[in-house]
Amino acid sequence: MINDKRVVAVVPARGGSKSIPRKNLAILGGRPLIGWSIDVALRSATIDRVLVSTDDAEISDVAKALGAEVYTRPAALATDDALVIDALRDLIRRLRSEGEVADVLVLLEPTCPMRSTADVDECVALVASGEWESAATFRSAELHPHRAWRIDEGSPRPFIEGAIPWLPRQRLPPAYQLNGAVYAVVMDRLLDESEIGLLVGRTAAVVMPAERSVDIDTPHDLAVAEALLRGRDGMQDPGGAV
């Protein structure tokens, strides 16, 4: 709890995955991928309750063993085409029907395991302050938008009209991308069916360094994360400010 606001963390972890089979249970640093998100949530000083939303029995068992509560997600909300926000709306309605009065929801994707408790708590604090309705973590853009191209009928042209792709990096305006590590939002704002994403209302940004922004989608990403872990000290404590 922070500023008298109750906070619930949700780790979404469906069973299906095409890029890495059983991705949410893939081993990273000696533990299941989902364990990194559960662990950082349990260690956070601002989070009151840690939930895992899944359609998978094995993930459910692992999550419970790691200290999280589990809510079974309807199969229709666990397909490749399903949106996370729809699964969250279903979960929020169930929580409200059970009497949960939390003010802030934090989404922690299992695919971004390198976040720290400081990253989580900073996003939560921004929303709990009342000044912001949502907050999310960003990193410097891997490809600057001024250097992106489109190809029309075989001919390349800058994706942004008027952009000069040849400018040196120092002359380009700063550009960022969502890294998927942390989303915090006023819980009931997500029940607004007109919202299609997790950045709602007045939104704050928290910038994370590239080394904590690894997003695991492919076996190569998993190998990169393993290499980063081997090269850093103290990573046996994923909740620490690393």
Task: List C-alpha distances in Å: 226 to 17, 101, 211.
Answer: 20, 39, 12
Write down the pLDDT at residue 233: 53
Give 190-240 pLDDT, tens digit per residue.
999 888 899 999 999 999 999 999 999 999 999 999 999 888 754 444 443
User: How many CB atoms within 10 Å of residue 216?
Assistant: 26
Dist. CA 69–CA 67, nearest whole Å = 7
Domain boundaries, the chain: 7-140+176-230
Provide the pLDDT for residue 4. 95
When the pLDDT of each residue in the chain is averaged and rounded to a whole number, the result is 93
Number of other CB atoms surrounding residue 129 within 10 Å: 13
Of 137, 51, 61, nearest to 90 by C-alpha is: 51
Whether the predicted pLDDT of 242 surpasses 80: no
Q: Are 86 and 14 in contact (CB under 8 A)?
A: no
- As given in the structure block, the two tokens for residue 58 are 């094995």
Residues 109/180, Cβ–Cβ less than 8 Å: yes
DSSP strands (E only) in 13-125: 27-28, 31-32, 49-54, 69-72, 104-107
Q: pLDDT tens digit string along 85-127?
A: 999 999 999 999 999 999 999 999 999 999 999 999 999 999 9
Residue 125 contacts residue 7 (beta carbons within 8 Å): no
Q: Are 39 and 66 in contact (CB under 8 A)?
A: yes
Which CATH number describes the domain made up of 7-140+176-230?
A: 3.90.550.10
pLDDT in tens, 20-57: 989 999 999 999 999 999 999 999 999 999 999 999 99
What's the rounded Cα separation, in Å, for the pair 173 and 176?
10
Q: Tell me: pLDDT of 132 over 90.
A: yes
